[in-house]
A and B are shown apart, each in its own frame.
Chain A
Amino acid sequence: MNTQAKKYTKKDFVSNQEVKWCSGCGDFSILSQTQKVLSEIGRPPEEITFVSGIGCSSRFTYYMDTYGFHTIHGRALAVATGVKTQNPDLSVWVAFGDGDGMSIGGNHFIHTIRRNLDIVCIMMDNRIYGLTKGQYSPTSLRDQITKTSPFGKLEAPMDPVAMALSSGATFVARSTDRNPKHLNEVLHKAYQHKGFSFVHVLQNCVIFNDGCHEPYVGKEKADNTLMLKDGQPMIFGKENDKAIVRDGFDPKVVNVADVDASEILVHDENSSSQGQSYFLAQMSEGKFPMPMGVIRQVEEPTYDGAYTEQIAEITAKQGQGDLQELLDSGDTWTVE
């Protein structure tokens, strides 16, 4: 792979289309990292297919010099299911937003994850509908003021990571538009994972929801995020002085100095049990630091892989299909 890697530069993945996102949009950074990661992976652009839905972030496909299918609102994962199932040799990437993935396309999100389709799925979550100019999305916060909630949003937000985990996702990670190095690492891991790789990217909408992720990307981010590292204790804070311990079934933030080192939870991203990942999923609501990095990565059969195997098995057993034989089969009779 390393020898191949030298063959491509980021420019090989940049299409000739003018990028039309608003100046300062978080999507620029995500697009740029994705193009960089692909050049580093070193697969020829024609082996890569991007599928997107509708919304600002879904314009992504037009900006990638790969194969691309910009579909309809919410349906990117359903279309990707067809592309990847039909041709498992392609590297299929879905790029979409929180409205596409969590709201109108929520059903496809659940079921594509359940199938463990071997694709990378990047959700750019700005907690707002941008392209329709500022309505609340499923991930908008309670009480958030938007064009359709001038007196405050009445609903609780949906957490894409928790949703992915409860659907049985085999790879779940979180990153942000403001930490390109981290995003780069996460995207590489997502690509390497065999199975559905869900990458939740906290992304800023400079026009309609500016600063929505500020606690996790701004000056105070060290106190508000938990940078997960496999095999490392869950310690965070500007001074690395805070830690996560278990309090019954709940997380608890403590001072490192106040507890025995053995009480501090150690991240195991490959844990086959969902216990730890659900535990981490609870930590996205304000009173805890937001976990960043790979939350869960486990190996399970992929849909497209299993499909290829099943066809091979059936063909080995029954022989290659023969149309005349099929037509002639069954209860037949001959009229002389």
Chain B
Amino acid sequence: MNQVNSNTLELQELGQVVIRFAGDSGDGMQLTGNQFTRTAAQSGNDVMTLPDFPSEIRAPAGTVSGVSGFQIQFGNKVVNTPGDYPDVLIAMNPAALKVNIKDVKRDGFILLDRDAFTEKNIQKAGYTVDPLSDEALLNRMTYQAPITSQTLRALEGFDMPKKAKERCKNFFTLGILFWIYDQPSIHTEEWLKKKFAKKPSIAEANIKTLKEGMIYAQNASMFQAQFKVPQAPVKKGTYKSLTGNQATALGLIAASERAGLKMFLGSYPITPATDILHEIVKYKRFGVKTVQCEDEIAGICATLGGAYAGAFAVTTTSGPGVALKSEALGLAVITELPMVIVNVQRGGPSTGLPTKTEQADLLQAMYGRNGEAPIPIVAAKSPSDCFDQAIEASRLALKYMTPVFLLTDGYLGNGSEAFKIPRVEDLPDLTTTHRTDPENFKSYSRDPKTLARDWVKPGTPGMAHRIGSLEKDRETGCVSHDPENHNYMVRTRQAKVDGIANDIPELEIYGDQEGGDILIMGWGSTFGAIRNSVDKYRVEGKSVSQAHFTHLCPFPKNTLEVMKKFKTVVIAEMNLGQLHKMIQATYAHKAIALTKIQGKPFTEAEIAVVVDELL
């Protein structure tokens, strides 16, 4: 096998690079992007990624609706987002070029598969002229590589059908990129060998193609330079790359183990949440029970049944599923059973934009039930933070005997970043026991401090009791329609949730601790974009700070105090101002709503449009 020798060109150092891989949804762009990410991370760069796939599984090949994308930002310092605009676009066909070219930075470049620019494909993409012959159209530095034909040539000796050989072209592309960014191919080679352990010829073909891509990049004299992104100052430790959904799954299983309870997950497939179910079903050796139910309602009802039977209970879904589950959420509130409801938010209303991201289910989580039915809300701010917040949501659920919402979104769920693997003993201790002492037991007896009711599993001798959806007497737990009792129970359930404010971290200020001009507040996945913006302003010496919520119900106790320190508060979120409404309603403190609702995360520029005006 030829060894790639890269000492002929000088290496140029770069800080951060954003690459977008785009091709037909069958072209393997997600896989290619993931392989590049793993390698960059293993080379010591900080990474964050975001896939962008069409909601159709296999939209008509070659059309713009079938284009699948994957974006990675890797860098020599902390990377907070997958990047706004790509420095590099990989376009495997004309449609991929057409969809993505407008996003490529002016000084960026495009690498495309020349062989895919046939008259037919150009037409399918909706171009009237060949974009490669139209400089005005292309308008960026473009490298036209014969990727498909070189792939076929590389595999000449292989006994495979032509179609199968063509499918290896994404590895040729990856090889080119590895060469350009001076990354080793070894991690991908090992991955291929493991993945195709039973079909070594496929692994061999892909490895050959990958290496040929690297050789091609070196020999074609096409590229003026090779680039090196130095290592980021990443904390010592062992890492792996996780998507937000994987991190959520891992956080939930960790919570169950730390609670000493078996986990029960009732769920129904829904984009973009299903990957959590995909992960958790693998954990049956932990005694986890997952039930793929007949519908969303059964998903949460089975979960409640599991909670009643004593399990650490979880249900996973997205907005439309939460809508269906809302009556059962009320049942969870009135029966005071612990449960985590994960909502991986997507664009709404209704079916909306299933594969796109949005934060428009905050008010649904807050208020979307009949009656007074408060539910604590926790939100994750980055893919790996999904792990920590899954544990935090679980902690609150078990300690306070309440359903708890964990809000993530499609951007977090599908995006990935390096996850620092913790030691189990460093994770919060969530040890939870069921009451077994029948002495003075009443079904609604409460812990005086947390107001949590006792959790008694069916099967416990001497404590048989009934719970249910009808209001219960505060003492006996029997059905009660007494007005005074109802008043007491409603206020007690609210007080229990409100009291959680004493048990959560305060809202932290990033920036001017004593206050300043502008405070940008947000929650959930907008964290990275806001952080980047704030950093940029601060480098310019401007007084712009950040405060980001992970707890949205109840709010941290010092919320008003923090807001009062700043002349102007801006609340940036991917909806029409839902946190803004909650802040107004709770504190009547003036704030400016900075909203975006395009199924896409904020860019720094979009934040600047508003903030620049205020400075």
Mark the stretch among B65-73, B466-474, B504-512, B543-551 that contacts chain A: B466-474
Judge whether B305 and A79 touch: CB under 8 Å. yes
Judge whether A75 and B328 touch: CB under 8 Å. yes
Judge whether B463 and A86 touch: CB under 8 Å. no
Interface of B is mostly: mixed
Judge whether A67 and B240 touch: CB under 8 Å. no
Q: Is A83 an interface residue (CB 8 A)?
A: yes
Instruction: List chain B residues, Cβ under 8 A from A255.
Output: none
- How near does chain A come to B305, taking the closest CB pair, in angstroms? 2
Judge whether B286 and A79 touch: CB under 8 Å. no
Question: How distant is the Cα of A311 from the Cα of B262 in the complex, in angstroms?
Answer: 12
Contact among A46, A54, A336 for B462, CB-based, below 8 A: A46
* Also in contact, A54 and B291, with CB within 8 A (given A47-B459, A82-B304): no
Residue on B nearest A330 in the bound complex, by CB: B240
Contact among B262, B284, B298, B308 for A111, CB-based, below 8 A: B298
Q: Is A90 an interface residue (CB 8 A)?
A: yes
Residue on A nearest B458 in the bound complex, by CB: A67
- How near does chain A come to B314, taking the closest CB pair, in angstroms? 11
Mark the stretch among B250-258, B395-403, B493-501 that contacts chain A: B250-258
* Also in contact, A69 and B305, with CB within 8 A (given A46-B459, A330-B240): yes
Instruction: List chain B residues, Cβ under 8 A from A61.
Output: 466, 468
Instruction: List chain B residues, Cβ under 8 A from A82.
Output: 264, 266, 291, 301-309, 313
Judge whether A331 and B191 touch: CB under 8 Å. yes
Q: Is B295 an interface residue (CB 8 A)?
A: yes
Instruction: List chain A residues, Cβ under 8 A from B266.
Output: 81-82
* Also in contact, A86 and B311, with CB within 8 A (given A65-B464, A78-B305, A311-B284): yes
Instruction: List chain B residues, Cβ under 8 A from A23.
Output: none
Q: Is B448 an interface residue (CB 8 A)?
A: no
8 A Cβ contacts from A301-336 to B: 307, 310-311, 314-315, 318-321, 323-324, 326-328, 330-336
Q: Is B241 an interface residue (CB 8 A)?
A: yes
* Also in contact, A110 and B294, with CB within 8 A (given A72-B327, A82-B301): yes
Judge whether B283 and A326 touch: CB under 8 Å. yes
Instruction: List chain A residues, Cβ under 8 A from B297.
Output: 75, 78
Instruction: List chain B residues, Cβ under 8 A from A321.
Output: 253, 257, 283, 285-287
Mark the stretch among B93-101, B175-183, B231-239 that contacts chain A: B231-239
Instruction: List chain B residues, Cβ under 8 A from A64.
Output: 466
Mark the stretch among B20-28, B419-427, B572-580, B591-599 that contacts chain A: B419-427
- How near does chain A come to B430, taking the closest CB pair, in angstroms? 12
Judge whether B240 and A331 touch: CB under 8 Å. yes
Q: Is B38 an interface residue (CB 8 A)?
A: yes
Q: Is A15 an interface residue (CB 8 A)?
A: yes
Judge whether A86 and B459 touch: CB under 8 Å. no
Judge whether B254 and A81 touch: CB under 8 Å. no
- How near does chain A come to B325, taking the closest CB pair, in angstroms? 11
8 A Cβ contacts from B17-61 to A: 38, 41-42, 44
Judge whether A79 and B291 touch: CB under 8 Å. no
Question: How distant is the Cα of A71 from the Cα of B250 in the complex, in angstroms?
Answer: 31
Residue on A nearest B284 in the bound complex, by CB: A314
Question: How distant is the Cα of A179 from the Cα of B288 in the complex, in angstroms?
Answer: 44
8 A Cβ contacts from B418-468 to A: 421-424, 457-468
Judge whether A79 and B294 touch: CB under 8 Å. no
Instruction: List chain B residues, Cβ under 8 A from A79.
Output: 301-302, 304-305, 308
Q: Is B323 an interface residue (CB 8 A)?
A: no
Question: How distant is the Cα of A314 from the Cα of B463 in the complex, in angstroms?
Answer: 34
Question: How distant is the Cα of A46 from the Cα of B289 in the complex, in angstroms?
Answer: 23
- How near does chain A come to B89, taking the closest CB pair, in angstroms? 26
Contact with B along A64-98 (1 / 0, CB 8 A): 11111111100100111111111101100000000
Residue on A nearest B479 in the bound complex, by CB: A62
Instruction: List chain B residues, Cβ under 8 A from A168.
Output: none
Judge whether B235 and A335 touch: CB under 8 Å. yes
Judge whether B466 and A108 touch: CB under 8 Å. no
Contact among B38, B302, B423, B464 for A324, CB-based, below 8 A: B423
The contact sample of 26 A-B pairs, CB cut-off 8 A, is: A46-B463, A62-B466, A65-B464, A67-B465, A68-B464, A72-B327, A75-B301, A79-B301, A80-B305, A81-B301, A82-B303, A82-B307, A82-B309, A83-B306, A87-B457, A307-B289, A310-B284, A311-B289, A314-B284, A323-B257, A323-B424, A326-B286, A332-B240, A333-B240, A335-B235, A335-B238
Task: Given contacts A111-B298, A321-B283, list 16 more A-B pairs with CB under 8 A.
Answer: A17-B479, A62-B478, A68-B466, A70-B466, A72-B327, A78-B294, A81-B305, A82-B303, A82-B308, A86-B309, A321-B286, A323-B286, A326-B253, A331-B38, A332-B238, A335-B239
Cβ-closest 5 pairs across A and B: A82-B305, A70-B468, A321-B286, A78-B301, A67-B458
Binding site for A on B (CB under 8 A): 38, 41-42, 44, 187, 191, 234-241, 250, 253-254, 257-258, 262, 264, 266, 283-287, 289, 291, 293-295, 297-298, 301-311, 313, 327-328, 330-331, 335, 421-424, 457-470, 478-479
